[in-house]
A = this chain, B = another copy of it.
Amino acid sequence: MSISPKAALLKEYALIARALSAPARLMLLEQVAQGERGVEGLAEKTGLTIANASQHLQQLRRAGLVTSRRDGKSVLYRLSDAVTLSLMELLGKVAERNLDQVGRILRGLSGGTDAPEAVSRAELAARMAQGSVTILDVRPADEFAIGHIPGAQNIELADLERLASRFGPEAEIVAYCRGPYCIFAHQAVATLRKCGLDARRLDGGLPEWREDGRPVQVHASPRKSA
């Protein structure tokens, strides 16, 4: 017996935590959570060099957080399972709750105005059934194309202020983005409320919505975004 089983177990647990301990890998996880992607695409999205992204992805794979498969010349990475997504979510929740710095940053995103509570995914689903809600996807168009909440319209943040006029003052807008590490929805809500609109943020992004087993629409929305 080289080392005790307890020490061996703790080492494995620590390996997983270590995989989550670099901002670059958290960015990669966020992207991988949107859907299967190759190394080059992930590198471009995260601003890492290809070699660097590849190394980080291998570390995530060793930790069991992502899996990969070959498709022709490309190697596609995806989250290994729903528990991984929960772990990412919980990491964000602990940060928001226990780190003052995080609360300050999030409050700063709302630009002084107090942000309203996030809408739960269950609540959004219920209000979708009534047709009493406007859903706004503020992710980049290519991520929107891979999959989005049915009926959502896609407006990227940069265009939002310009296009805010398309919403009537009576519209109840729910904005969402990539997930707990993404600040687009926070910023979108701040922008819309500055325009006097009724906007709230969805709790969780598309990956969490999908993981709940709720419907996801592929390709463009029925209402074009520009």
Which residues of A are interface residues toward B (Cβ below 8 A)? 5-23, 26-27, 63-65, 80-81, 83-84, 86-87, 90-95, 97-99, 101-102, 105-106, 108-109, 181-183
**Which B residue's beta carbon lies closest to that of A98?**
B64
Q: Contact: A9 with B105, CB < 8 Å? A: yes
Q: Contact: B10 with A23, CB < 8 Å? A: yes
Given known A64-B97, A95-B64, contact A5–B105 (CB-CB < 8 A): yes
Given known A21-B17, A23-B7, A83-B93, contact A12–B65 (CB-CB < 8 A): no
Contact of A90 among B10, B14, B87, B101 (CB under 8 A): B87
A6 to B27, CA, bound (A): 10
- Give the residues in chain B near A105, CB-CB below 8 Å: 5, 8-9, 12
- Give the residues in chain B near A14, CB-CB below 8 Å: 20-23, 26
Contact of A65 among B10, B92, B94, B106 (CB under 8 A): B94
Given known A5-B105, A81-B97, A84-B98, contact A91–B22 (CB-CB < 8 A): no
Q: Contact: B9 with A181, CB < 8 Å? A: yes
Contact of A21 among B21, B65, B81, B181 (CB under 8 A): B21
Given known A18-B21, A183-B6, contact A12–B99 (CB-CB < 8 A): yes
Given known A5-B109, A83-B97, A98-B65, contact A91–B16 (CB-CB < 8 A): yes
